[in-house]
Structure formats: C-alpha cells, structure tokens
Amino acid sequence: MGVGGLFVFLEAYFLVPQNADFFFGTFSQCFGDPRIGLPDQSVQGFEESRRLLSICQQPAFFDQAQWVGMGFLLLCGVAALWYLLHPWWITRDRCGRFPALPSLRSRLLPRFPSEENPDEREIAEYLDQQCRAVGVDPAPVWLLDVSARSSNGLAFGLPWRRCVIIDAPLVSNFHTDRDKFRAVIVHELAHLRNRDVDKTYLAFGIWWAFLLVAMVPFGVLTLRTALSGGPPVIPPGVVQYLVDVPHALGLMATLGVLVLLVRNSVLRARELHADAVAAAHGGREGAMAILRGLLGPATAGRGPARAALARLTRRLGYWPTPEARQRVLREPALLTRPTVWEMAGAGVVAGVFAASADGLVDTLFRLLWGKLNTRAGDLTVGCAIGAGLVGVLAAAVWRAVAVSDLAPRPSKLVWPALPAGLVGGYLAGASLPLITDGTELPATALEEQGFAWLLRTGPVLLAGAACVTIWLVSAARALLPRARSRRALYAVVATSVVSFAPWFAVWYSTRRIVRTNGFQPVLGDAPDLGSSIGWYRAPSEWTGFTWQPLTVLGQLPSTLVGLMLLWLTPLALLLLRDKARGAGAGVRPRVGTALLAGLAGGVSVIAVGVALPFLARAALPPAVLHHPGTRQDAGFPTVYWHTYIALACLAQGAVAAVIAAVARRHRPALVLAAVSVTALAADLGRPLAFAAVGCTRLFGAPVRHCSVPFDPEVLAGDLRTIALRGLLTVIPAALLGAGAGTLARIRMAARRGTRVASGHRGPPRTAAWVTAAAFAVLIAADLAAVALALPADQYVWELWLRG
C-alpha cells in the first residue's frame, strides 16, 4: 500500500503549480546556459556540458525527491497514528446520526469476569484455562459489552495491553451452549496468538492513510488543474506535459480498489486462520453452529444482477463468507493451499512497485550520480522485485506440494496456474503507467511502447516463471517427505532467490528497450571469405549469434553461482538426509550416473574439438582458413571458436535429454549437475583443441606451435559462455527427454502387463568420496571462474553506471 502511495506522490508532484514552476524554471535556466546548450564539438566539450547539466538540475530533482519523501513519511505517520488510536476508537460510543463515526463518550465496558463474584469465578477460571490451552500469555483484559445484542467477541489493543470484548448475550451460553462459548473465546484468543490484532488494525490504518493522504489530495489536485485551465507553460526542450483528467481519475480509482482488495484479503486470511485454531482446540461443533447462524441473506427477491453484485461484494469484503469459513473448518488444509488469486495479488503489488520505481530510481540517480536511470539502476530494482516474486512463488509451491497428498487433492492445473497468476498480476500492475496517458514526466519507455510491451516481454517472463516452478516442484517433492524442520524450506527459498532474482533483473532491464526487441536473438556476422559456401555461411551466422539477456547475465557474478546452487542445494540436502537415515542407496547412485554421463559428454566435445582442425583443412580452402577477419567481418578463428562453443552446448543438450529420460525423480537437479560436468570438461578441453590448431597451422601461422595454451581468464569466460548458452539447448532437451522417457516406460509397462514402477533396477552405487570430490571440483571451478572474471566485469559495471 505504501508502494501505491509512492506512485501517487510521483504523479501528483507536477500537479502543484509551485512545484511545476520551480522544476521547469530550473530546466529553462539550465538549457539557457551556453556552456550546456551549445557545448564545444568535442568529447571533452560534451562531457563538460553533461557535468554542468547534472549540477544545474540537482535542485529540481532534490525538490522532487523531498516531495515524495515527505509524502511517504506522512503516509506512514498517519497509518501509525491510526493504529495507536484504534483502542480509543473501539471503546467509544457510536454517533446516533452517523453510526460509523465514534463519539466522545466511552462505551460501558466493565471488566469481566470477577474472581470475587462467586457467579463469575467459574467463568474466570475457564477463561484462564483457555488462555493456557491456546498459548496466550499474558492473558488479555476481558471486557463485557453490556449493550451488545449479538453473541460475538472482539480482540484489540496494543502490544502492552491486549483486550477482548465479550458480548453480554454470549455469557449466557457458558451454561447453555458451552461449545459455542468456547468457539468464540478460542477464536479471539487465536487472533492474539497469531498476532492478528497488529496486522488487522495496521491494515485498516494504512488504508485510511492512503485514502486521506494520497487518493483525496491527488483527486483534488487533478480536478483543480483541469478547472484552472491546464498546467503551467512548458519551456522548449522539455517533454510535453499534459494532464488527462479521466485517465488520472481512473488511475486513482484503480489504485484505491487495489489497496482495498489487498487489505480485505489480509483480513479474510486472519479470520480463517483463527477459525482453524478454534476448531483445532475442540471448538469445531460450536464454530459450525455459529456459522450456520451466519449464513448470508436470501437473494430470492433480488434480480440476477443485484444478487450477483451482492455475492461479489461479500466474497471480496474483509469478512470471509460463511461458506468459506465452513470449508476451512471441514478441511483445514485449504488454509495452506495457495490460490491463483493470492499469486495474482502478490504480482499486482510487485507490478505497482515496479511502476513507481522507474520514476523514483530516475530521481535518485540524478541526485546521487547526476545521471539518467542506467542499466545498473534497472538491475538493482529488478533484483529487489525479483527476490520478492521468486520468494512468494517458492513459498507457494512448497505449500502446494505439502498439501498435495491431503484430500481433496488439488487439481493438476495448480502448477501452471501459480506462475501464470503471478506473472499476470505483475504485468497488470506494471501497466498502470499506461493508463495515465502522459501524466508522468518524463515518459517511461513502457509508455512509448504502449500495451505492446506485454506481448513482447510477457511470454518471456511467463516461460521463465514456468522453469522456476518446475525446479521448485521437483525440489519440494524430493525434500518434503523427510523434512522435519523448516531448514529445507529456507534453503530452497534462499536458493531460488539467489539464483533466479538476477534473471528477473535482466528481464526487467531489457524490457525497456524501445527501438529494437531486446529479447530477439541477433545472428552473427557472415564471413566475407567463404560466404559463397552455403554450409559454411549458415553455421557461421548461427553459432555467432548474440542474445542480449545472456550477454547481460554473463557480466553478473551471481550467474554461475546461482546455476551451481540449483543442483547443489537439493542434492546436498538429499545426500545428507540419506546419510542420517543410514540409507544404502538413496540418491547417490543417481548422482553418480549423472556425473558420469556429463563427463562422457565433455569427453566427446574434446574429441570432436581435437578432430575439428583436420576436418576443416579437408573441407575449406586455405584462403578461408587463413582469413583473420576484421571488425565487420568474422574470420575463421572466430568461427572456429564459436563452433567449439556450439559443440559444447549441443553436448549439454544431449546429456540433459539422456538424464531426463532415465531419471524418474530429481530431474532438474540431476540434469543441471550433469551438464555442469559437461561444460567444465569441454572448457578444460579447449586448450587441447587449440593446440591441435597450432600443430596443424590451421589459421595460417608461419610456425607450428604444438604447446597447450593455458589462459585462466579466457577459460573463465568460456566456462560462463558455455554454461549460459548451453541452457538454450538443455531446457528443451530435458523437457523432450522427460516426455520421451515417460512414454517409453508406459509403453513398456503396457507390453509387459505390469505397472510402470515394476521391474526397475537402480543404477550402480558410487563411492561417497567420489561424489564429494566431484562436487568439490565443480564448486571450485565455478568460484574460480567468477573470481577471474571480476576485473573485466568491473569495467562493464562502470559503463552501466555511466548511463
């Protein structure tokens, strides 16, 4: 909700005439300076002009940042004040004319029960007993609402003084209907144990703060600007600034509805969890009796439209419907089962944050470094948003797998529905700037693209989320049956965040490209010499392709580490679990098979790479082989290097297909471990292949050089290139291999007349020290590659920061 406030404050800044006059006046003075507007026609002149412009613009952007910061602090202050004052609000009497508003008179809420009163002593002892049973310590202050006509309760109060109000008619149920009395009391105590009081009244406070501090002023400023004849005069050279009142009011209404729905979902979840706790402590029958009395009003006399609207209002309100509460009481596992709407809500919140982060990061970069928002800023914001999205998806998948064996079983569609809901919600929230239609200054790249950015970038994000879900489902199914603590959950969530958040950050930075589609691969340069040879020209272009997301990922140190953690975390946890259980087989034989298959793939790449120079001498004329190439033309040495990388990628795809077809469990982890061995072996075999090049004088060298070239920096860069490009073949090959293996087992089982799982012989066992040594070599190689590439990566990061 604070994210929505930031977005509104950024939009509302230019609606204040004083702000617009100061901001645009500062720009006019800056562009009027001849040292800025008419710099020397040289590199030094342009750099000096840029430096002076950033210094001149500092006051304008500082004023904008100050406006947004003060608005956000005011929003937080009003929300905190409402939370601190909620006990006063609850204990006030209602106004006769406006029941929703409190009066200055206090309600009659005496303390109850009293141990000194013999009639109330039994109730006091019973309440203390329920507090101990639920786990509420210290006990709350019990208050009696003598004027109430219902039989409910209400928990409220600050952390140092919790209170529970008991309606007077409920007291009579202590003797007549003990189950109902216990259900209400335990329900309110569950709110205290779950710390729902703070969450509930903070949600109310944030909603009212957003309404009073953000929405109402934004609407007033929008209407005032429209009635006053429009915005102030815009100086030349500044992006045109137009206030579209319908779009601005639509933005305000959309954000208001979004904040309201998020608040209501939080409150509904708190009520359902309290119902589950009450049912777990023996109050199921009483709780069901209460819910039977709370069934919604009949809609027989209403029209279809009014009845549908009433059902929708009840379903989206902050109080769960009796039908939903009954379902939770019958099946408590429904509480932990994630829903598509839950994921969509989380995605919308992240999308709104992304929409507000664009303008906020622009302002911060101008203040701190005097530059426009750069790729470094996009990657930073993208990592923050990606960490939240991946963490939510990981926790949701873990919960879905945990309850998948409980009745009623969830539909198989839940696995694609979870990432689809998260991605759809994010794209919807991130598209909010598009409905402002120019009310933002300056216009973002998304506004220039329009809604077409959804079709250009949405499928890429959805495909990535599907891959993340596949890994999460596999890891959760492997670890959950034996997980006795939350350490496995924390390890899976942390691994997914560290590994996948940078990928989202790269998508986040690439999506803003306007002139070209950043997600479209670009073929390599065709060689001039040999271009008439068709079979040589086509592989030269395809093996030399570039894809911007992979290029950016290749400069991030966390990329190789993340890929390593994706196979290391689940396999290490499984091996430790098998060791603790004393299992003789477990997962180690399958790990050994995967490592051997990966090594075989790497050896095959080395063999083909060593033979490749001899094949090239027989297939291509010397003029093509000896052409070194230029900046605009790819020579044969470049083509040869690209070909070796492509062979390593194809080998990784073949290994992935074999492992996915043979393995029945832990496929993602085993596939990634196997292709990591293939990539490392192929990378270490590169010096042998280029030694064969030197011996055969393939590139036209005057003297033979049969020594093995060893350059650690080059090997580190090639390892990262092979690992990243290999994913383009590993992912589809693994999917095809898994499907082919499953179909083959089904057909084989049908021919034999047995079940699929019968007659399966496990792979041979592998010594523990062999597995540990292989893991150590892979980890050391990845970490060494990251360390060796840091100097070159640092130079690229400086370029990204310059803007």
Residues 6+ apart with CB under 8 A from 618: none
Question: In whole angstroms, what is the distance from residue 667 CA to residue 656 CA?
Answer: 9
pTM score: 0.78
* pLDDT tens profile 622-648: 777 766 666 666 677 888 888 889 999
Nearest alpha-carbon partner for 658 in 606, 604, 603, 598: 598
Amino acid sitting at position 583: A
What does the radius of gyration of the chain's CA atoms come to, in whole angstroms? 33
* pLDDT tens profile 217-253: 888 887 777 777 655 444 443 433 444 556 666 667 7
Question: In whole angstroms, what is the distance from residue 106 CA to residue 92 CA?
Answer: 4
What pLDDT is attached to residue 372? 55
Q: Token pair of 168, please?
A: 């007077």
Place of tokens 């589609």: 517
Residues 6+ apart with CB under 8 A from 465: 393, 419, 420, 422, 423
Report which secondary-structure segment, H or E, holds 142: strand 141-145
Question: In whole angstroms, what is the distance from residue 201 CA to residue 207 CA?
Answer: 10
| Averaged pLDDT score across all residues of the chain | 78
What pLDDT is attached to residue 602? 93
Residues 6+ apart with CB under 8 A from 539: 639, 643, 646
Nearest alpha-carbon partner for 335 in 428, 402, 249: 402
Amino acid sitting at position 643: T
* pLDDT tens profile 557-585: 888 999 999 999 999 888 887 777 665 55
Question: In whole angstroms, what is the distance from residue 233 CA to residue 325 CA?
Answer: 57
Q: Please, which residues bridge with residue 106 across strands? A: 92
What pLDDT is attached to residue 670? 93
Interior angle at CA 658, CA 656 and CA 663, nearest 5 = 95
| Whether 86 contacts 156, CB under 8 Å | yes
| Whether 55 contacts 26, CB under 8 Å | no
Three-state SS across 515-558?
CCCCCCCECCCCCCCCCCCHHHHHHHHHHCCECHHHHHHCCCCH
For 251-255, 418-422, 438-442, which range has the lowest pLDDT when averaged over its residues? Answer: 438-442
3-state secondary structure of 430: helix
Q: Report which DSSP code applies to 283.
A: I
Q: Which has more pLDDT, 352 or 446?
A: 352
Question: In whole angstroms, what is the distance from residue 351 CA to residue 432 CA?
Answer: 8
What pLDDT is attached to residue 84? 92
* pLDDT tens profile 524-565: 777 777 666 767 777 787 888 888 888 888 888 888 999 999
Question: In whole angstroms, what is the distance from residue 261 CA to residue 258 CA?
Answer: 5
Question: In whole angstroms, what is the distance from residue 8 CA to residue 217 CA?
Answer: 10
Nearest alpha-carbon partner for 128 in 109, 111, 141: 141
Q: Which has more pLDDT, 532 or 609?
A: 609
Task: Classify residue 237 as left (phi > 0), alpha (psi -120 to 50) or beta.
Answer: left
The whole-number average pLDDT for the span 409-434 is: 80
Q: Token pair of 247, please?
A: 């779009």
What pLDDT is attached to residue 679? 94
* pLDDT tens profile 307-353: 777 777 777 777 787 777 777 777 666 666 777 888 888 888 888 77
Q: Token pair of 3, please?
A: 């994210």
CB atoms within 10 A of CB 740: 13
Question: In whole angstroms, what is the distance from residue 571 CA to residue 667 CA?
Answer: 11
Nearest alpha-carbon partner for 554 in 721, 735, 307, 358: 721
Q: Token pair of 485, please?
A: 């603590």
Strands 102-106 and 153-158: unpaired
What pLDDT is attached to residue 240? 38
In the predicted model, is pLDDT for residue 802 greater than 70?
A: no
* pLDDT tens profile 709-725: 778 888 888 899 999 99
3-state secondary structure of 103: strand
Q: How confident is the model at residue 485 (pLDDT cuts 50, 70, 90)?
A: low
Cα distance between the two ends of the chain: 31
What pLDDT is attached to residue 725? 92
Report which secondary-structure segment, H or E, holds 104: strand 102-106
Domain ranges of the chain: 336-522, 588-773
> Helices (DSSP H) in 167-283: which residue ranges?
168-171, 173-176, 178-193, 196-209, 216-227, 245-278
Q: Which has more pLDDT, 456 or 656?
A: 656
What pLDDT is attached to residue 761? 54
Nearest alpha-carbon partner for 507 in 452, 464, 443, 563: 464
The whole-number average pLDDT for the span 728-747 is: 90
Question: In whole angstroms, what is the distance from residue 445 CA to residue 508 CA?
Answer: 12
What pLDDT is attached to residue 236? 40
CB atoms within 10 A of CB 578: 17
| CA dist 585 → 588, 662, 664, 768 (Å) | 7, 17, 15, 11
In the predicted model, is pLDDT for residue 486 greater than 50?
A: yes
Q: Please, which residues bridge with residue 142 across strands? A: 164
Q: Which has more pLDDT, 369 or 719?
A: 719
Report which secondary-structure segment, H or E, holds 593: helix 588-619
Q: What DSSP string runs through 661-679?
A: HH-SS-HHHHHHHHHHHHH
Question: In whole angstroms, what is the distance from residue 234 CA to residue 242 CA?
Answer: 10
The pLDDT > 90 percentage for the chain reads: 17
For 156-170, 557-571, 604-618, which range has the lowest pLDDT when averaged over its residues? Answer: 604-618
Question: In whole angstroms, what is the distance from residue 406 CA to residue 476 CA?
Answer: 16
